[in-house]
A and B are shown apart, each in its own frame.
Chain A
Amino acid sequence: MSDLKFIFTGTPGVGKTTAISMISEFDPVVTDVLTTDELSEQKEQTTVAMDFGEITLEDDEKIRLYGTPGQRRFKFMWEILIDGGLGLVILIDNSRENPLEDLDIYLDNFKDFILDAGAVVGVTRMQTHPSPDLDQYYACLEKRGLDLPVLDIDVRDKDDVIMLLDALMAISDYD
């Protein structure tokens, strides 16, 4: 049986594990260890391999949900995890210093996969940090010739996470 999966990626601490936990049938399997670098001020633990969740369809087919480690030093895992994926969810934390630069990193590193399978961008913490706004994200994508949905979401809201996946499937449907 081939591995049907969606991949969640994004900046450290943006909420990839939380997003997966919102829709996974079980608590995500995490590979977190104590954070010892500069990220430790932001979060106590960080993912070193992947997060893993799952949903089961009516015919017992499994859809796997993988979260990549956020830190760039684990970039080798990104390439392993996306292999054969149905699509990519890119989560960007709008409270970080330069969210658009963060987005550029993921668009660069997943360029081929995005062109092949599709992606959606979920921007978190816009309620408290409204800038950059969604138009600026679209400007960033348009510079690269990419037509991808950009959604204002809260990863703690199950409906928002489902909306992200629905948007990803919507653009993949018509590619």
Chain B
Amino acid sequence: MEKVFTLSACCMSENDELVLQSLINIIDLRSAAHWSFATDDSANVLIVDIDSIEGRQLWTGLDSSGQDKIAIAYGENMNGLGDNIQYLLDKPLRSKKVIDLLEKVSNQKLENIGAAKASAGAYAGEGHRRKFVQKIQELFDSGAWGVRYKDQMLIINGANREAYTVGGLSDLGDLAEAPEMSMEISELSQADLTSARERLNTYKYDEVVWYFSRFHSRSLMSELSDNKEFKIRRWPNLKKINYRKEDVRLFGMLMKNWMSMNRLVQSEEEKSVIGLLNALYITGFLQLRVDQSNNTQMNIQEEGETRGLYSRIRRRLGIA
């Protein structure tokens, strides 16, 4: 059974409403349910600005109306809302907080009703992708950190003295314990562990997810083996990921054109492409084309005058 969430912004500023509308596609991609935006009464998820008089009145009315809607209180002053508020969102509106909260809403509701997303555009591996990202998020929320050790990326959980890496190519990217590292850190005192963390070049959540997605979880991309088309509408924050020089050209290609695996691997090294696509998919940037019947035939451009010029500029800047 499909679960559909429609979101509405209640008593919010125009700017906040526009931000929410723009985030819906990202949430729809990342979530196991369908998400859309509604400007009428049909919405089943409401974000209510409770700092306004109208918002407060609406909030009170929702509480007593018995309507089956999910209400999220959004504001700076949460006083007087009652004790049983399930979802809160504080100001100012931050994209990451909104996305995380709405993912939490859909995950909790889906667990309750046992529903799963089943649309033509969804990956069969969507549930695994979510679990994979959630596991890493939970570890980092509890204070874990990433570190490079013997040419691999590890997540160190100082609390239980365990180290994790990503499973091999045959599985679906689950985290596996790294026994050698776990043994080493179990012998360290807390002070030594803290000191090691300060000395070492550690990695944050975004970098770890990107690295793991890129270099390990190949099987998450099995759905793109045919001519399904995809692109990106947004670039990842290059400051937060360990990107390669050649990635920038691929991001440009994927932003400007609907691409398929067949077309990409004609011009680029397959392993690198799969890794990058995997990372874009897991971090929610890859957008799958819904109407696959209208596949365009994008030709990889020949080495024209401008491309030749750009190659020379890149060489001059040291990035070719």
Residues of chain A whose beta carbon lies under 8 Å from any beta carbon of chain B: 4, 23, 55-59, 61, 63, 86, 100, 130-131, 133-136, 138-139, 142-143, 147, 149-153, 162-163, 165-167, 169-175
Given A149-B255, A152-B237, A173-B249, A139 and B301 contact (CB-CB distance below 8 Å): no
| Bound Cα distance from A72 to B92, whole angstroms | 30
Question: Is B148 an interface residue when CB atoms closer than 8 A count as contact?
Answer: no
| Bound Cα distance from A155 to B246, whole angstroms | 22
B94 touches A162 (CB 8 A): no
| Bound Cα distance from A149 to B248, whole angstroms | 10
A171 touches B252 (CB 8 A): yes
Quick one: which of A56, A100, A135, A173 contacts B234, CB cutoff 8 A? A135
B233 touches A142 (CB 8 A): yes
A173 touches B235 (CB 8 A): no
A173 touches B319 (CB 8 A): no
| Bound Cα distance from A100 to B15, whole angstroms | 10
Shortest CB–CB separation between residue B248 and chain A, in angstroms? 5
B233 touches A138 (CB 8 A): yes
Shortest CB–CB separation between residue A168 and chain B, in angstroms? 9
Question: Is B109 an interface residue when CB atoms closer than 8 A count as contact?
Answer: no
A170 touches B96 (CB 8 A): no
| Bound Cα distance from A23 to B314, whole angstroms | 12
Given A4-B309, A133-B96, A138 and B22 contact (CB-CB distance below 8 Å): yes
Chain B residue contacts of A149, Cβ below 8 A:
235, 251-252, 255
B301 touches A174 (CB 8 A): yes
| Bound Cα distance from A150 to B96, whole angstroms | 16
Chain B residue contacts of A23, Cβ below 8 A:
317
Chain A residue contacts of B265, Cβ below 8 A:
none
Shortest CB–CB separation between residue A35 and chain B, in angstroms? 31
Enumerate the 7 nearest inter-chain pairs by beta-carbon distance, A residue then B residue, closest first. Answer: A170-B252, A139-B22, A135-B95, A174-B256, A171-B252, A169-B310, A57-B312
Given A131-B94, A136-B19, A63 and B26 contact (CB-CB distance below 8 Å): no
Chain A residue contacts of B176, Cβ below 8 A:
none
Chain A residue contacts of B22, Cβ below 8 A:
135-136, 138-139, 142-143
Shortest CB–CB separation between residue A84 and chain B, in angstroms? 13
Given A151-B238, A171-B255, A139 and B313 contact (CB-CB distance below 8 Å): no
B233 touches A173 (CB 8 A): no
Considering only CB atoms, which chain B residue lies closest to A174 in the complex? B256
B26 touches A135 (CB 8 A): yes
Question: Is B253 an interface residue when CB atoms closer than 8 A count as contact?
Answer: yes
Chain B residue contacts of A4, Cβ below 8 A:
309
From A143, A170, A175, name the one whose CB has the most chain B CB atoms within 10 angstroms.
A170
Query: What is the 8 Å Cβ interface bit string for chain B, positions 299-320, against chain A (1 contact, 0 not)?
Result: 0010000110110111111110
List 17 additional contacts besides A135-B23, A150-B235, A169-B252; criterion CB under 8 Å.
A55-B313, A57-B315, A58-B312, A131-B92, A134-B237, A135-B95, A136-B19, A138-B234, A149-B251, A152-B237, A162-B319, A167-B235, A169-B310, A170-B251, A173-B307, A173-B310, A174-B301
| Bound Cα distance from A138 to B96, whole angstroms | 14
Quick one: which of A58, A135, A153 contacts B316, CB cutoff 8 A? A58
B256 touches A171 (CB 8 A): yes
Q: Identify 7 residue pairs between A and B in the complex whose beta-carbon atoms are under 8 Å apart, listed by A's number.
A: A56-B316, A63-B313, A133-B94, A143-B18, A162-B317, A174-B256, A174-B301
Question: Is B239 an interface residue when CB atoms closer than 8 A count as contact?
Answer: yes
